[in-house]
């Protein structure tokens, strides 16, 4: 299937998604489009793991962004999903919508379930409560999936949907 553009990507259901009980509804959005769950786990992040995940935010001029994000991600459990499908990275990015919920269209996860504005985040000094993290590109997806899931934690199987989609 690799010739079809099948790839894996990481999605994190952030502490706000977990606390609000939206895990199942969010996961359904991905499965409804034919994406396959090949790995799943719930985890509390510690400072070391958070820095490995958000390495691209460390050392930036806006290190306050990293600190705010890291504190939020460590505030409660997250659910990590390794998803697989044709053009999985770009498909997931479309499903979740833009980073700032007030800019996300209805029908996207952030547009339907998250409503914080960029301005309110800046004024409050809190991280943007946007429910999900998703890999931004194929290289990032490869890094993140391998960081979160070793090979033994990712499963290969055929879904009924794959028989009709590929």
Give the largest Cα separation in the chain, rounded.
49
Catalytic member of 44, 53, 115, 133? 133
Contact 82, 37 (CB under 8 A): yes
For residue 133, indicate whether it is catalytic: yes
**What is the dihedral sign for C-alpha 148, 88, 18, 100?**
positive
Extract the tokens encoding 148: 């979160």
User: Which contacts of 125-129 are long-range, i.e. CB under 8 A and separated by 24 or more positions?
Assistant: 125/68, 126/68, 126/72, 127/68, 127/69, 127/71, 127/72, 127/73, 128/99, 128/100, 128/101, 129/14, 129/16, 129/72, 129/101
Residue numbers annotated as active site: 133
């Amino acid at each position: 299937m690799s010739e079809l553009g099948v790839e894996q990507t990481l999605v994190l259901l952030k502490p706000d998604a977990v606390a609000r009980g939206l895990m199942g509804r969010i996961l359904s959005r991905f499965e409804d489009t034919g994406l396959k769950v090949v790995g799943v786990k719930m985890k509390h992040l510690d400072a070391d793991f958070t820095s490995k995940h958000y390495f691209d935010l460390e050392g930036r001029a806006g290190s306050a962004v990293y600190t705010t994000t890291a504190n939020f991600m460590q505030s409660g459990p997250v659910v990590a999903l390794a998803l697989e499908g044709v053009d999985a990275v770009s498909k997931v990015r479309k499903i979740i919508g833009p980073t700032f919920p007030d800019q996300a269209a209805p029908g996207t996860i952030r547009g339907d379930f998250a409503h914080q504005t960029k301005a309110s985040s800046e004024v409050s000094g809190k991280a943007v409560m946007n429910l999900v993290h998703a890999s931004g590109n194929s290289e990032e997806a490869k890094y993140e999936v391998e960081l979160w899931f070793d090979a033994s934690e990712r499963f290969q199987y055929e879904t009924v949907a794959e028989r009709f989609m590929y």
